[in-house]
């Protein structure tokens, strides 16, 4: 089968790859670009571990055809750190013990980032809703919700 | 439709590790030329904090800063043997092995330091900040880094230690068959409050209150993290997770996270936890371990709370809305019990 040339922005860098028709974005990111931060959980959109941002909007990369991101901007966990520093959300996750095995963490962080990008001071209910597509086995969610709220109020303190 | 509130309680004794003796784990500790230490294990850290807690135990035993200890683990091909991360055994079993290894390494380190300072090793102590000095004379001091370099490049010593923890085999009383199944028990009590919808059979968690006695909490934040998260694994077993329908064969079981359910962020409730510390005689620095126990009392407490709310005793897991509804119908309606 002929491969299709595909160009898009990956964490602010232009990338060009060749994909088979039907390749999903998760496979393209992990296997063709080598960005292992989006995780394969279920491959069916049921767990949120593969969450990424496309043009700033939250998407499940396992349910996104790679070819649909041509010319668009794809952001993964690998791109959210600020230079050598952790992103405030990453710092808040560490401070609040919001990760244990860590498999859901990239998806949780991207879902949280999508929320804070559009609503920098969310309510607790808004945080719960924002991560409701993401399953976590270890933490009981409470530390994750607290971390997102802490990152949000930390942002306010700096402003 | 009525939503009924109910409260249930459960208490547990949890034996740490595998029972009736054996259950070994090993650890090796050695110094690097930089004066830092490496703990070699093959115990798995799956997010529960095995690496953090063994690092703390090693640093405390050696008398060096925790930053000076690295834990290299999880390769069972090359690491010293470990039975595994299960049965709440990690902190207790592996921690004891690390302590034994670190004690031996500390002995060599103090001998090497004594040779450099030209004193008796028994007169030396560590300051916990990376230095070894003569008791009562802090100026007669040498850094662990200089000791490590002298041991390796001058004295020809390896600053290292071996550790293993093995529970003695329990004797069996020939008359009664009685034996001691475990050497160390942790304890917990949990109160669950639920709301049961008598029209849909759905059970919602309202709140949990618990107390855990788990020996000394070597890392209180990690203990809390385990107890907070583990309770929801218990809820998940109590109310959600099942491979059913499993008929006529497993291919009819749930295929994904849409069918195999777990609690989501919207299902959680407040959980107030009290940690009680009663140091274990045979635990490293008195530690037992929170492990599996985080989930265990939740299941019976939830089942009891459902009985308290609507008067049905469900003895199959998980307690699905269908099971609750069928049981309520079978007894001719919800029968709330006395409020507890």
| Short-list B52, B63, B128, B65, CA closest to B91 | B52
Q: Do A100 and B46 touch (CB under 8 A)?
A: yes
Q: How far apart are CA B340 and CA B335, in angstroms?
A: 14
Nearest to A97 among B221, B232, B268 (CB): B221
Q: Do A46 and B257 touch (CB under 8 A)?
A: yes
Residue A159 has pLDDT above 70, yes or no: no
Closest alpha carbon within chain A to B226: A139
Report whether B235 contacts B302 (CB < 8 A).
Answer: yes
Backbone angles phi, psi at A96, to 5 degrees: -100, 10
Residue B335 has pLDDT above 50, yes or no: yes
Q: Pairing state of beta strands B271-276 and B203-213?
A: parallel
Nearest to B266 among A42, A44, A128 (CB): A128
Q: Give per-residue pLDDT as tens, B227-273.
A: 999 999 999 999 999 877 766 677 777 888 888 899 999 999 999 99
Nearest to B265 among A97, A102, A131 (CB): A131
- The structure's pTM equals 0.92
Q: Do A143 and B228 touch (CB under 8 A)?
A: yes
For residue B164, what are its two tokens? 């293993």
Q: Do A135 and B222 touch (CB under 8 A)?
A: no
pLDDT, average across residues B19-33: 91
ipTM comes to: 0.90
- Chain A touched by B48 (CB under 8 Å): yes
User: Taking CA B300 as the corner, what is the angle to CA B299 and CA B304, rounded to the nearest 5 degrees?
Assistant: 120
Q: How far apart are CA A34 and CA A18, in angstroms?
A: 14
Q: How far apart are CA B48 and CA B246, in angstroms?
A: 32
* Residue of A98, A105, A140 to mutate, interface with B, max B Cβ within 10 Å: A140
Question: For residue A106, what is the enclosing H or E element?
Answer: helix A105-118
Structure-derived torsion over alpha carbons of residues B171, B174, B175, B176, reported in degrees to the nearest 10: 40
Q: Give per-residue pLDDT as tens, B150-199.
A: 999 999 999 999 999 999 888 889 999 998 888 899 999 999 999 999 99
DSSP class per residue in A43-98: SSSSS-TTEEEETTEEEEGGGSBGGGGTTSEEE-GGGTSBTTBPPHHHHHHHHTT-
| Short-list A35, A32, A28, A33, CA closest to A65 | A28
pLDDT band at A157 (very low <50, low <70, confident <90, very high): very low
For residue A40, what are its two tokens? 């394969």
* Residue of B265, B271, B292 to mutate, interface with A, max A Cβ within 10 Å: B265
β partners of residue A54? A57, A74
- Chain A touched by B269 (CB under 8 Å): no
Ranges of beta strands (E only) in B35-136 are: 37-40, 69-72, 124-126, 131-134
Q: Pairing state of beta strands B3-15 and B185-197?
A: antiparallel
Q: How far apart are CA A24 and CA B282, in angstroms?
A: 53
Per-residue pLDDT, A154:
80
């Amino acid at each position: 089968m002929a491969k299709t040339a595909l160009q898009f922005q990956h964490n602010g860098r232009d990338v060009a790859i060749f994909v088979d028709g039907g390749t999903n974005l998760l496979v393209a990111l992990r296997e063709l670009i080598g960005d292992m931060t989006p995780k394969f959980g279920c491959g069916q959109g049921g767990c949120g571990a593969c969450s990424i941002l496309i043009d700033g909007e939250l998407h499940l990369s396992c349910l996104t055809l790679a070819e649909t991101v041509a010319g668009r901007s794809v952001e993964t966990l690998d791109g959210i750190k600020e230079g050598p520093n952790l992103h405030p959300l990453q710092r808040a996750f560490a401070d609040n013990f919001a990760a244990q095995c860590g498999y859901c963490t990239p998806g949780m962080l991207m879902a949280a980032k999508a929320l804070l990008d559009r609503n920098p001071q969310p309510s607790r209910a808004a945080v719960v809703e924002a991560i409701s597509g993401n399953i976590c086995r270890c933490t009981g969610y409470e530390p994750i919700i607290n971390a997102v709220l802490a990152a949000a109020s930390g942002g306010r303190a700096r402003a | 439709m009525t939503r009924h509130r109910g409260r249930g309680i459960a208490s547990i004794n949890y034996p740490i590790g595998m029972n009736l003796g054996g259950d070994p784990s090993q650890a090796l500790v050695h110094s690097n030329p930089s004066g830092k230490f490496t703990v070699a294990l093959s115990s798995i850290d799956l997010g529960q904090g095995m690496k953090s807690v063994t690092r703390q135990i090693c640093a405390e035993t050696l008398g060096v800063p925790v930053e000076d200890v690295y834990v290299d683990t999880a390769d069972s091909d090359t690491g010293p043997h470990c039975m595994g991360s299960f049965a709440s055994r990690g902190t207790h079993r592996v921690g004891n092995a690390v302590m034994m290894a670190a004690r031996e390494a500390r002995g060599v380190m103090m001998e090497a330091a004594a040779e450099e300072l030209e004193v008796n090793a028994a007169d030396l102590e560590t300051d916990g900040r990376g230095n070894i000095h003569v008791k009562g004379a802090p100026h007669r001091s040498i850094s662990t880094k200089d000791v490590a370099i002298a041991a390796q490049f001058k004295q020809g010593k390896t600053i290292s230690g071996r550790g293993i923890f093995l529970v003695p085999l329990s004797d069996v009383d020939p008359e009664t068959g009685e034996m001691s199944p475990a050497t160390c028990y942790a304890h917990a009590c949990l109160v669950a409050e639920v709301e049961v919808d008598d029209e849909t059979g759905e059970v919602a968690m309202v709140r949990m209150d618990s107390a855990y006695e788990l020996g000394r909490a070597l890392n209180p934040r990690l203990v809390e993290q385990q107890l907070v998260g583990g309770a929801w694994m218990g809820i998940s077993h109590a109310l959600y997770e099942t491979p059913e329908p499993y008929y006529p064969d497993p291919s009819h079981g749930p295929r994904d996270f849409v069918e195999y359910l777990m609690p989501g962020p919207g299902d959680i409730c407040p959980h107030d936890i009290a940690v009680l510390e009663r140091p274990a005689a045979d635990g490293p620095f008195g530690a037992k371990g929170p492990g599996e126990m985080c989930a265990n009392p939740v299941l019976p407490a939830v089942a009891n709370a459902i009985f308290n709310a609507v008067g049905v005793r469900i003895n199959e897991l998980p307690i699905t809305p269908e099971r609750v509804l069928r049981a309520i119908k079978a007894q001719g309606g919800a029968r709330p019990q006395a409020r507890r």
